[in-house]
Chain A
Amino acid sequence: MAELTYNEKRLMVVLNTIKEATPEVIAGELNTTAAAVVQFAHLCADKGIASLDRTITVSYSLTTEGEQYATLGLPERQVYASFQNEISMKEMQAHPLSRIAIGWMKKKGWVTIEKGLVKKTGDAPEGADEVALRDPDTNREGIPELVKRGLAEETETTTYRVAITETGKALVEAGIDLREEVGTLTREQILSGDWKDLNLRRYSVDKLPKRIIPGKVHPYQRLINEMRNVLLEMGFIEIYGDVVQSSFWNFDALFQPQDHPAREMQDTFYLDSTTPLPENWERVRDVHEHGGTTSSVGWGGTWVPAKAQTNVLRTHTTGLSIQYLKDHPDEPVKAFCIGRVYRREAIDPTHTPEFEQLEGIVMDKDVSFRHLMGFLKEFYGRMGFENVRFRPAYFPYTEPSVEPEVYVDGLGWVELGGAGIFREEVTDPWGVKYPVLAWGLGVSRVAMLKMGLRDLRQLYRSDVDWIRDTPMMQGGKD
């Protein structure tokens, strides 16, 4: 049996003496209210050590109007008594109660009305309603009529009787600790050791308190940080850069021809400002027009400097990678960037005009296409995608290019990002002497695969409850 509270114990001790009583009586003994006694008795009844019988009694009393008629008689009685055998309607209407009385007199058969003349039919014996009016609580027959007429009202009274059960008796006789309960420990009690003799209140330990939510880093940011940590552990240096980029770095430096569809206004957010071309821009022009100093034939045509100066919101972070290579032309270079990029797309569950992209580059003396595959396998493996395979692909600024696919339970092989070796047309203008392995992927795509996300808008217009309910520690097997 669950432990008794202090109050339950006190009730049981009293009950054991008086066996059975009303809560009011017990309340006197316990120096508390009857309501409190009922509450303790309920708890004891649940435990089978006491019983609580509830009786509902109904009593009737007169309303103020009823009280008035108890003394003077019902309106129909008063009017009936006010005339002899008969009276004209007109005369009778002079009586102040005639409007109420006339109907009742007719209904009770005391009078008949013919041609404006009210005639008594007999003695008009006293009815049940009039008897009830004298003593409503004992003469119940006429009560419903009085209640209907608003002259009497019903009151429900609940009374209890509390008694001890055999189990209860046995419990009390086995001995009950009646020391007072203590809720909070004081410093003195802890220091003195008095706490050992206290009767510390016992709690319902399965009762959950009001939920609290810890402050949290956004689940998506935690995923981004997980990726950053993987790359930092793999020896990569992090790049961070401006959101506003010139077309030169966003497109031209990546050997995107100036009439490439990706450069069109419907795909890119163009800005109303320009950036001067950097030093050595002519090499980029040469590579576009005829391949520069590489084995490339270039795109041909005339490369227009003004087109390259127009600013855009970066459509990828590859422009940052190229600028990093320009500033760090000596091997080895291992760098990465996770940043927001912008595409002119309307918002829907799988498209947002801004999203995070991850990109990694490796430049070193003897790196090759097979090392690119090695990095991809290592990175995806550390992200929890252990099976990776490769397919031919096309990307404008890499050659050879490859599309990695990862195996996801329930989905099968899923494309995840793109990779390749930067074309020489991209790296040669900046004096980069060795191949540059590069790969990128949409971070939100990983979020969809790893967090089961169905709607990308949840990342940027988050429901607070989603963040509250997303545990900080994910996966478990990682």
Chain B
Amino acid sequence: MPIIKLPYKYLETLTGTDRDTIIDRVPMIGADIERIEEDHIDVEFFPDRPDLFSTEGVARAMQGFLGLKSGINEYPVTPSGISFRVDPGLAEIRPFLGSAVIRNVSLTEEAIESLMGLQEALHWAVGRGRGKVAIGVHDLDTVTPPFYYQAAPRDRAFVPLDFEEEMNLEEILERHPKGMDYAHLVRDYAQFPLITDAKDNVLSFPPIINGELTKVTTATRNILLDCTGTDMKAVMTAVNNICTALADAGATIESVEIDGTPMPSLAPSIRTVSVDECRRLLGIPLTADEMVAHLQTMRFGAVAESEDVVTVTVPCYRSDIMHDWDIFEDVAISYGFENFDAALPESFTTGKPHPVMVMMDGVREILAGLGFLEMMPFTLTNERVLYTAMQREPNPGLLRLQRPISEEQTVMRTDILPMLVETLQINHHRELPQRLFAIGDCVEGTETFQKVAAVSIHTEADFSEIYACTDALMREMQIAYEIEESEDPAFIPGRRADIIVDGKKAGVFGEINPDVIRAFELDAPICAMEIDLRCVQARLCL
């Protein structure tokens, strides 16, 4: 989540309140304070609220929340007469462009830092790492309109930001730090996006790097904004947030014509919402007038049309308002979560455990009664543990992860017994005897089902011990079974048996093969069993 640096001095100037009030109330607008420093606080805001990614935006929200200012801010836009042309050749590369002219900015060091922080957070949360949207701000007075957003050849050269010599676009991708970071976004195209002015000066190589020529400094008075991307809605979210933040700091906004269409408008959108629906969703008493007051606190424009209808004017920077309930949440925040009368509804329901859980609880009770300790091993494992060390053939239904995170966990388990033997290995230095069991999900193909396995390790562990336990478990589960000599290579020939239920193999038990014991670096006899609980489910009609 984006962490925003809020300098107290700048925030105090913008809001007209003191730092202690800010620190006290900022969490209640939906944020986590990360760090409180001498001259600033670092605050984490939610990713759906890009309007809070700048000191100016936080000041705007705080003013409403503290009752210093309410209702919606107006953002007038006048035409700048500046135009932009978009090269149709960008359609497959990076088709969308948003722009604005921002005049009369007074950029202190803090305001520049806030602007850079806002850009960075927007790149992350809205731009998805600059792929969807990339932002550039330029000193307008260093270039000459009109501007051209074009697909340029890869050997076109200019001086990139923070460099002194010219580099061509390919060299930038290879040598400039930002070029190396973001090369993957453009590398596969024959031509690269480029913004130039009437004299063919380069403003920017989006989404990679601006030109040194248009660098913004404290001396900058007028800004040209460019936002390029692959999604028009996201591009406009970025434009609206930057324009409104700077407008709140005192700048004036002018529109730019892009292929004949002026933008931005910064006009709010209108939503007509039901007071009753809000009241019922939140469960609080609320009149239309109270709702209007809450919405104005949250910096919406709001007018009560009737007892049930409120017309809400949603500022252009609130890209999170997609649905009426998004507005109702702001009413709840203004109302104060601490003021809700928490209560349980009256309707009567009865609880019921899931039959699979009932079955597993029953098996747990039986095996604990037989003296076994339960283990809960991971369900993710690898083929070495699952098959190789057990001397078994892989299950054809084995589910492999496409991109595992470690060599230890590459597949979903089809059996539990190997995990249990591995648990014995982990506990090699602990006192014997150890009698362990585990029960839970296994997967074959896309089917989830349950197995139970048990092991006993000590100098006298043998076939009859595990046979007796298996027999007790089957009797207590009321599953009739037969025994056949098994061929399972994990066990010792002549000391292994398959459990047959309804003519089908449902499990196996016996003495673990010493080669398997050694494969897990153990050195005492082990007897073990495993049962596929689908046989139980079939019998219990689960």
Contact = CB atoms under 8 A, between A and B. Distances in A.
B401 A269 contact: yes
A392 B337 contact: yes
A142 interface: no
B347 A332 contact: yes
B435 interface: yes
A194 interface: no
A347 interface: yes
Contacts of A365: 347
B354 to A, nearest CB: 4
Nearest to A365: B347
A255 to B, nearest CB: 9
Interface in A340-380: 340, 342, 344-347, 352-354, 362, 364-371, 373-378
A373 B283 CA distance: 11
Contact of A368 (B281, B357, B399): B281
Nearest to B427: A464
B342 A373 contact: yes
A38 to B, nearest CB: 35
Given A243-B379, A370-B343, A269 B329 contact: no
A332 B440 CA distance: 30
Contacts of B261: none
B495 interface: no
A465 B350 CA distance: 39
Contacts of A242: 446-448
B538 interface: no
A216 B436 CA distance: 9
Contacts of A306: none
Contact of A294 (B280, B323, B434): B323
A344 B282 CA distance: 36
A83 interface: no
A374 B443 contact: no
A344 B405 contact: yes
Interface stretch (A19-27, A175-183, A226-234): A226-234
Given A243-B412, A371-B345, A424-B323, A231 B369 contact: no
Contacts of B371: 214-215
Q: Which of B233, B328, B357, B367 has the most CB of A within 10 A?
A: B357
Nearest to B349: A235
Contacts of B399: 244, 271
Contacts of A374: 342-345
Given A273-B446, A344-B403, A392 B29 contact: yes
Contact of B352 (A232, A234, A243): A232
Given A265-B403, A392-B333, A243 B351 contact: no
B283 A371 contact: yes
A370 B340 contact: yes
Interface string B430-449: 11001110001101011110
B344 A400 contact: no
A203 interface: no
Contacts of A401: 329
Contacts of B348: 235
A423 B340 contact: no
Contacts of B27: 391
A363 B375 CA distance: 36
Given A243-B412, A364-B347, A394-B46, A297 B322 contact: yes
A34 interface: no
B361 interface: yes
B401 A394 contact: no
Contacts of B430: 463-465
B332 A369 contact: yes
A464 B364 contact: no
B376 A295 contact: no
A259 interface: yes
Contact of B423 (A259, A296, A461): A461
A340 B379 CA distance: 9
Contacts of B406: 346-347
Interface in B323-341: 323-326, 328-329, 332-333, 337-338, 340-341
Contacts of B431: 465
Contacts of B369: 215
B426 A400 contact: no
B342 A370 contact: yes
Contact of B405 (A345, A368, A392): A345
Nearest to B323: A296
Nearest to B46: A394
A258 B453 CA distance: 40
B372 A215 contact: yes
Interface stretch (A52-60, A121-129, A217-225): A217-225
Contacts of A220: 376
A354 B378 contact: yes
A188 interface: no
Interface in A366-416: 366-371, 373-378, 389-394, 399-402
B229 to A, nearest CB: 12
Nearest to B433: A213
Q: Which of B128, B322, B403 has the most CB of A within 10 A?
A: B322
Contacts of B48: 394
B441 A373 contact: no
A209 interface: no
B380 interface: yes
A373 B340 CA distance: 8
Contacts of A369: 281-284, 332, 340
B322 A298 contact: yes
A236 interface: yes
B30 interface: yes
Contacts of A378: 344
Q: Which of A259, A368, A377 has the most CB of B within 10 A?
A: A368
Given A265-B403, A391-B337, A421-B325, A435 B281 contact: yes
A399 B342 CA distance: 17
A264 to B, nearest CB: 9
A202 to B, nearest CB: 31
Contacts of A301: 231, 233
A215 B373 contact: yes
Contacts of A390: 337-338, 340
A462 B423 contact: yes
Given A228-B357, A401-B329, A371 B344 contact: yes
A218 B30 contact: no
A311 interface: yes
Interface in B393-437: 399-406, 409, 412, 423, 426-427, 430-431, 434-436
Contact of B322 (A291, A313, A340, A366): A291
Given A297-B322, A400-B325, A462 B375 contact: yes
A334 B344 CA distance: 12
Contact of A238 (B353, B367, B412): B353
Interface in B95-143: 128, 132
Contacts of B49: 394
Nearest to A378: B344
Given A344-B405, A369-B340, A460 B378 contact: yes
B146 interface: no
Nearest to A300: B233
A460 B367 CA distance: 19
A352 B405 CA distance: 11
B159 interface: no
B426 A362 contact: no
A424 B380 CA distance: 35
Query: Lowest 5 A-B CB distances belong to which pairs?
Result: A368-B283, A394-B46, A370-B283, A400-B329, A232-B351
24 contacts: A215-B367, A215-B371, A216-B368, A218-B375, A232-B353, A236-B351, A240-B356, A244-B446, A291-B323, A334-B349, A344-B405, A353-B380, A354-B380, A366-B345, A367-B345, A376-B342, A391-B27, A392-B329, A392-B333, A423-B325, A424-B325, A464-B434, A465-B427, A467-B374
Given A216-B373, A295-B271, 15 more contacts: A218-B374, A218-B376, A238-B354, A240-B357, A243-B412, A295-B323, A346-B406, A368-B284, A369-B281, A370-B342, A371-B344, A392-B28, A392-B333, A461-B426, A465-B427
